[in-house]
Structure 1
């Protein structure tokens, strides 16, 4: 990696790279491009064919293309393409083994999915289900209560939240369940209905969902295991006994009780405070429990504003169904989006081997002695086209890089602030991190505007799993609070780890 002088634009940083491999020529021959791919981008499988393909794809100057060379403009197009994105494009498709039991996956999970606002007077709306499903959510919550005219309704009981019809929720699920993912949707029904209205619910489930509804147990070769997520089905949890198949909710008593008495098709659901205490005191047992059973964690009742906890603390013990308020923006949902961007955004991400090994006991809160650490070097070089606030005033931007993983791996480092530059701020800041369990880590790039000595405002962020991060010179596509793209706003970074 070369130390670059401070250029006037991001184009300048890339120009430096181009010139260092073009050796004074006006174009970059295919052989020099291949050398760049090997040495700087650490694309170890790249060969002459790879270089030829990139020239064909990004070089529009015919003379250069015909002579298997790349002009600076072609090189720039390549460097700002998805082929140079920090997120490994191989991970934009489902690439993980999808034949493991459901307990082997993190599953994107929503809490009180129907709400668009707070937990007390917020509005319930069908759009909330559509938004969650389009984000790849695979576990939806439906709180069911008796409604007038024998029509069950969905709302947050004993509050002033508005009500929507159960049949409309199921129709919405039917229409949107498999738009972005072909893998199972779990319906977590919190059932408060009378027997008569439960029968109405069962009729709607079978009548509306039809053969999309999994209502019989699947044959599974491994006795005592949950099925894999291969079936494109809707799975009902928590209620309506004749339709419940694999996710019957049971009260958690203790890990020893679960080991001796819990059926593999039953899942435990617990609030964040209880789960946090168990993770802190009995982390190894929690990890082991989650190797066989599903556990669902939900936000504390005190979070009336629909705020969220940090989901990482429960992924660290292998909990599959870590439920968040999808309508609430901020760091917890950024982490959720980052985690489930992996594996094609299908809503199922295979848990790392450290959480699934029956030979080794893993305690995320304990000492990781004997583990060979991974050393991560991140150079935050520059930014480009950062969004300016409504006032039109240029930003005073800085970048914060956060590592979210087991407690001993969590850290954050910050660049200096560049004054009055939204277009092309230059930091050239080196950051070093030491990670014990990188396979559990998420990396979050956060751009902020320095507004005072100790105050700053959010500008944009991007979060991704550590092992979805490509080495070499990469651009980081920034996202807004709601997760939407801020294109062309981006960061230019260098990534290396051992």
Structure 2
């Protein structure tokens, strides 16, 4: 650190004028500096959108949710607008909406064949419209799990157009007739993901280039066509797609996944697949869309991953995942230069109290690496007895990380329990490449993702390639 930078820090954080004028720093000034954002583990550069946002949508990891309308139990719990609001505020860019026929020709949203409560479809999308771009300017995908009759699908189409207006993408962008647009090109746009009848060109030819509304359909009576019948696996009921809703599906046409080989040979640029978690684990051993209302390790990793790039919900994939002829194999890493990560865990500051109470808990910290199989690792400190207020470990851990671009680092603080097992106190997860070097403060968050300020860890971090 240069003298100039040191003097700037003193001027900014030293409260005692005499000490400040002497270009020195008191303990109070140093404490203020160490508790500031400048000393957090997470890099300031990663707090803003810094990645190239002009690549096609398929080149990005996109923050996605599953059963977004649920806020607790998936069988008996309530459906709530807060599920959508909360996900959007956290930067989620793909929301699932389970749509079913409702009374008085009003489609409803709920978890089908369960006792979860119901929301009006139009109320859901009105909430989405209000909060869609509060956290991020980049496009929001509405993934429709569509179980509605054609009549109520037409109501859905009318609701979507009335609610989102010009924000609703209802035609191809002129600059992207046969390729996926970029997040930059789709800023402040709402995309509908659903089954689609025919191709984009056929839709445009039939309706003409003016897609600001569906009046043309109503005048020609095209909406009354039966559409295309699709068969859902293990169901005898035939599902019909209303043309009015189909016409709102542009770059996010839902297609059933068959195999990677089939997709490479036949899948069109505007078609995408939703793959069940069990199948996805078998295919890639990585988790997919998440229930944002369910706390725990998967959500910690999701939140940590998408802290990057300004929390925009879009993270550019590494080059080796963007190349169509890539030979990258996460289970067999042969290329690249690994990073050696060293973390000295120095101390803890006002760690959260356990349910069993007082600040005399027996605390420990676990540091975990999540990434490709060879990088997965977990190391643990010793237990500091009867001191959760200011435990000191002064322990150093080293990790060899082969694919740093995909690695997440997770700090977990626990209180040792001899009978019922260890009790979770707090955690923090972030991408390895968003970690600052040097002496840093690690903030802690609860199981529900709430800040536990002033609870934190004090560490020294270094990594080299």
Of stretches 60-69 and 393-402 in structure 1, the one that deviates more from structure 2 is 60-69
Aligned match of 1:272 in 277, 282, 285?
277
- Find the aligned partners of 2:53 and 2:350 in 1 and give their Cα distance: 39
1:69-125: per-residue Cα shift (whole Å, max 9, x none)? 333332222122111101111111111111111111111111011111222222111
- Find the aligned partners of 1:359 and 1:56 in 2 and give their Cα distance: 54
Aligned match of 1:232 in 184, 188, 193?
188
Q: Secondary structure at the match of 2:441?
A: strand
1:412-437: per-residue Cα shift (whole Å, max 9, x none)? 00000011111100111111111110
Distance 1:235 1:434, change over 3 A: same
Alpha-carbon offset, residue 48 of structure 1: 4.3
Of stretches 453-462 and 396-405 in structure 1, the one that deviates more from structure 2 is 453-462
- Give yes or no for contact 2:347–2:390 (8 Å, CA) kept in 1: yes
Partner residue in 1 for 2:92: 137
- Find the aligned partners of 1:171 and 1:454 in 2 and give their Cα distance: 46
Q: CA RMSD in A?
A: 1.6
- Find the aligned partners of 2:347 and 2:70 in 1 and give their Cα distance: 39
Q: Which runs of 5+ in 2 are unaligned?
A: 196-244
Q: Secondary structure at the match of 2:182?
A: coil
Correspondences of 1:21-60 after superposition (within 5 Å): 34=1, 47-60=2-15
Aligned match of 2:402 in 436, 442, 445?
436
Aligned match of 2:129 in 167, 174, 187?
174
Distance 1:409 1:224, change over 3 A: farther
Alpha-carbon offset, residue 220 of structure 1: 3.2
Partner residue in 1 for 2:392: 426
1:421-472: per-residue Cα shift (whole Å, max 9, x none)? 1110011111111111011000000000001178201000000000001111
Q: Secondary structure at the match of 2:388?
A: coil
- Residue 329 in 1 paired to residue 295 in 2? yes
Aligned match of 2:361 in 395, 418, 421?
395
- Residue 214 in 1 paired to residue 169 in 2? yes
Partner residue in 2 for 1:250: 255
- TM (norm. structure 2) is 0.86
Q: Secondary structure at the match of 2:334?
A: coil
Aligned match of 1:63 in 18, 21, 33?
18
Of stretches 69-78 and 245-254 in structure 1, the one that deviates more from structure 2 is 69-78
Partner residue in 2 for 1:263: 268
Partner residue in 1 for 2:120: 165
Q: What is the aligned residue count?
A: 412
Q: Secondary structure at the match of 2:306?
A: helix
Where has structure 1 moved over 3 Å in runs of 4 or more?
Answer: 357-360
- Find the aligned partners of 1:179 and 1:443 in 2 and give their Cα distance: 28
- Find the aligned partners of 1:208 and 1:454 in 2 and give their Cα distance: 51
Alpha-carbon offset, residue 360 of structure 1: 4.1
Aligned match of 2:160 in 188, 201, 205?
205
Distance 1:390 1:131, change over 3 A: same
Q: Secondary structure at the match of 1:252?
A: coil
- Residue 83 in 1 paired to residue 38 in 2? yes
- TM (norm. structure 1) is 0.80
Distance 1:360 1:126, change over 3 A: closer
Partner residue in 2 for 1:357: 323
- Find the aligned partners of 2:406 and 2:392 in 1 and give their Cα distance: 31
- Find the aligned partners of 1:383 and 1:54 in 2 and give their Cα distance: 24
- Find the aligned partners of 1:268 and 1:360 in 2 and give their Cα distance: 20
Aligned match of 1:378 in 343, 349, 372?
343
Alpha-carbon offset, residue 134 of structure 1: 0.9
1:38-75: per-residue Cα shift (whole Å, max 9, x none)? xxxxxxxxx44433321221122222323433333322
Q: Which runs of 5+ in 1 are unaligned?
A: 1-33, 35-46, 281-312, 315-321
- Find the aligned partners of 2:139 and 2:79 in 1 and give their Cα distance: 24
Alpha-carbon offset, residue 180 of structure 1: 1.0
Alpha-carbon offset, residue 275 of structure 1: 1.9
- Give yes or no for contact 2:354–2:423 (8 Å, CA) kept in 1: no
1:315-341: per-residue Cα shift (whole Å, max 9, x none)? xxxxxxx31011111111000110111
- Give yes or no for contact 2:354–2:415 (8 Å, CA) kept in 1: no
Of stretches 267-276 and 126-135 in structure 1, the one that deviates more from structure 2 is 267-276
Distance 1:148 1:90, change over 3 A: same
